């Protein structure tokens, strides 16, 4: 069955583009490709021409998730499966494909109204190697895509069916969470060896995007970035810790849009030939202290 192979790009609607450019480059260590004539700020983290597209928008939330597939045949198969599943699918216009820098794409809404785009043929620029403005070792991407996102889903079971049965994700595990007297279950899904590319949390939250995660190639980059953020007065939304399910060692920063960015290192990987779904009862083995929400 044709399946999404990675999170190829992420579109964000942000109120303050200038604050984001500074935060993304000077703190996260992403490379700015500049603000285009279309007013979109594009950010790089590897050989891809655009991993993040930031649109000026008051929502300060996810605008769209770009799910990569191998080729036109895979795109066609997924479009067909979505339509058969009752999902309205729109073919991306040549203008949108050009704006995303991809060969072809389709657009649709997930069960909670989050815009999804399945595409193939991203623009890659090996001739212009990624160069972080910071002295960091770079990011773990490749077949694992840009990282992961955690989004709010009213009905996690319904969303799992959507992402698993129509887009081809596999379940990694579940975390049974408890905040005070409130209990709920988060679902984690993968589409490549990255432990999860998508996580779903069934809480009525003000934003659909809780956080996105980018994975540094060196543990020192995580430590150095945490202290840099502290020195610059950026809120550490969750302190250093290691997660129970993906074993990611990470901390969380508050982005200029309010949602968080998880800065991680050392996540464990999934081999679909041997992986068994697991159930966890806490988000972290140690650390990740925060005032409110879970990581």
**Site track for Fe ion across 213-242, x = CB under 5 A:** x-----------------------------
Give whichever of 30 and 237 is closer to Fe ion, judged by the CB atom: 237
Task: Considering only residues 259 through 288, tell me which ones interact with Fe ion, judged by CB under 5 A.
Answer: 262
Cα–Cα distances in angstroms (integers) from residue 179 to residues 146, 207, 215, 226, 248, in the given order: 30, 19, 27, 26, 21
Taking the least distance from each CB to Fe ion, the nearer of 13 and 147 is 147
Minimum CB distance to Fe ion smaller for 61 or for 262: 262
Q: Which of 145, 148, 142 is nearest to 119 (CA)?
A: 145
Do residues 284 and 295 touch, judged by C-beta distance below 8 A?
A: yes
Interacting residues of 57 by C-beta distance below 8 A, sequence separation 6+: 13, 14, 15, 63
Which of these ranges, 44-52, 99-107, 131-139, 257-265, lies near Fe ion under the rule CB under 5 A?
Answer: 257-265
d(CA 62, CA 278) in angstroms, rounded, equals 28
Q: Smallest distance from the beta carbon of 248 to Fe ion, in angstroms?
A: 7
Q: Where do the DSSP E strands lie in the chain?
A: 6-14, 31-35, 41-44, 52-56, 61-68, 90-91, 104-109, 115-120, 148-152, 170-179, 182-190, 198-201, 209-215, 236-243, 249-254, 260-265, 278-280, 284-287
Site for Fe ion in 50-79 (CB under 5 A): none
Of the listed pieces 41-49, 61-69, 255-263, 280-288, which binds Fe ion according to CB under 5 A? 255-263
Q: Using CB atoms within 10 A of its CB, is residue 169 exposed (0-12), middle (13-18) or buried (19+)? A: buried
Q: How far is the CB of 148 from Fe ion (least distance, A)?
A: 6
Kindly state the smallest distance separating residue 218's Cβ from Fe ion, in Å.
Answer: 19
Q: Give the count of residues interacting with Fe ion (CB under 5 A).
A: 2
- What is the C-alpha separation between 174 and 280, in angstroms, rounded? 6
Q: Is 30 in the site for Fe ion (CB under 5 A)?
A: no
Residue 173 or 262 with smaller CB distance to Fe ion: 262
Identity of the residue, 74 or 214, whose beta carbon is nearer to Fe ion in the bound complex: 214
Indicate the residue among 79 and 200 with the shorter CB distance to Fe ion: 200
What's the closest the beta carbon of residue 194 comes to Fe ion, in angstroms?
A: 11
Task: Kindly identify the residues of this chain, within the stretch 154-213, that bind Fe ion according to CB under 5 A.
Answer: 213
Binding site for Fe ion (CB under 5 A): 213, 262
């Amino acid at each position: 069955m044709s399946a999404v192979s990675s999170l190829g790009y992420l579109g964000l609607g942000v109120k303050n583009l200038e604050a984001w450019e500074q935060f993304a480059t000077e703190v996260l260590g992403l490379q700015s490709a500049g603000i285009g004539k279309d007013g979109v700020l594009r950010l790089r983290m590897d050989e891809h021409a655009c991993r993040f597209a930031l649109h000026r928008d008051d929502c300060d939330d996810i605008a769209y998730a770009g799910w990569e597939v191998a080729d036109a045949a895979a795109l066609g198969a997924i479009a067909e499966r979505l339509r058969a599943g009752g999902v309205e699918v729109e073919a991306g216009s040549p203008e949108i494909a050009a704006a995303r820098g991809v060969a072809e794409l389709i657009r649709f809404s997930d069960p909670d109204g989050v815009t999804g785009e399945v595409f193939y043929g991203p623009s890659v620029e090996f001739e212009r190697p990624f160069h972080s403005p910071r002295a960091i070792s770079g990011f773990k991407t490749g077949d694992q895509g840009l990282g992961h996102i955690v989004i709010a889903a009213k009905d996690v079971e319904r969303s799992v069916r959507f992402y698993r049965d129509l887009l081809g994700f596999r379940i990694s595990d579940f975390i049974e969470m408890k905040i005070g007297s409130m209990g709920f279950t988060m679902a984690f899904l993968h589409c490549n060896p990255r432990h999860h590319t998508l996580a779903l949390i069934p809480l009525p939250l003000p934003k659909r995007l809780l956080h996105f995660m980018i994975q540094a190639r060196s543990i020192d980059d995580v430590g150095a970035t945490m202290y840099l953020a502290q020195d610059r007065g950026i809120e550490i939304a969750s302190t250093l810790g290691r997660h129970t399910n993906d074993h990611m060692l990470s901390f969380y920063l508050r982005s200029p849009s309010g949602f968080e960015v998880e800065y991680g290192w050392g996540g464990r990987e999934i081999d679909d030939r041997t992986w068994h779904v697991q159930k966890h009862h806490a988000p972290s083995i140690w650390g990740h202290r925060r005032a409110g929400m879970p990581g």
